[in-house]
Amino acid sequence: MKIGIVCYPTYGGSGVVATELGKGLAYKGYDVHFITYSAPTRLDLFSENIHFHQVNIQKYPLFEYAPYELALTGKMVNVVKTEHLDLLHVHYAIPHASAAIAARQILATERIYIPVITTLHGTDISLVGKDESFAPVVAFSINQSDGVTAVSRYLQAETYQHFPISKHIEIIPNFVNLQRFKKLPKEHFKRAIAPHGEKLLVHASNFRKVKRIQDVIKIFALVKQEIAAKLLLVGDGPERAKAEHLCHEYKLYDDVRFLGKIEAIEEVYSIADLFLMPSETESFGLAALEAMACEVPIISSNAGGLPELNVQGVTGFMSDVGNIEEMAAQAIYVLDDANLPIFKKNALMHAQKFDMNLILPKYESFYKKVLELSKKVEKI
In the complex, the residues that contact ligand GMT under the rule CB under 6 A are: 12-15, 17, 92, 121-123, 126, 151, 174, 206, 210, 281-286, 304
- CB nearer to ligand GMT: pick between 131 and 325: 131
- CB nearer to ligand GMT: pick between 201 and 277: 277
Min separation Cβ 102 and ligand GMT, Å: 21
Q: In whole angstroms, what is the distance from residue 36 CA to residue 44 CA?
A: 15
Q: In whole angstroms, what is the distance from residue 153 CA to residue 150 CA?
A: 7
Q: In whole angstroms, what is the distance from residue 175 CA to residue 178 CA?
A: 9
Min separation Cβ 116 and ligand GMT, Å: 18
CB-based contacts of 342, cutoff 8 Å, min separation 6? none
- CB nearer to ligand GMT: pick between 41 and 49: 41
- CB nearer to ligand GMT: pick between 18 and 194: 18
> Which among 300, 294, 247 is positioned nearest to 268, based on CA atoms?
294
- CB nearer to ligand GMT: pick between 17 and 219: 17
Min separation Cβ 14 and ligand GMT, Å: 3
**Measured between alpha carbons, how far is residue 154 from residues 90, 172, 174, 217, 309 in Å?**
20, 12, 13, 27, 11
Min separation Cβ 211 and ligand GMT, Å: 7
Min separation Cβ 368 and ligand GMT, Å: 22
- CB nearer to ligand GMT: pick between 107 and 289: 289
**Measured between alpha carbons, how far is residue 74 from residues 69, 253, 324 in Å?**
9, 49, 48
Pinpoint the alpha helices (H) of the chain. Answer: 13-27, 68-83, 93-108, 123-126, 135-144, 153-162, 187-193, 213-226, 240-249, 265-269, 286-293, 324-335, 340-351, 356-379
Q: Which amino acid is at 62?
A: L
- CB nearer to ligand GMT: pick between 215 and 255: 215
**Measured between alpha carbons, how far is residue 377 from residues 2, 114, 171, 204, 370 in Å?**
20, 12, 23, 44, 10
Min separation Cβ 299 and ligand GMT, Å: 16
Min separation Cβ 34 and ligand GMT, Å: 15
CB-based contacts of 78, cutoff 8 Å, min separation 6? none
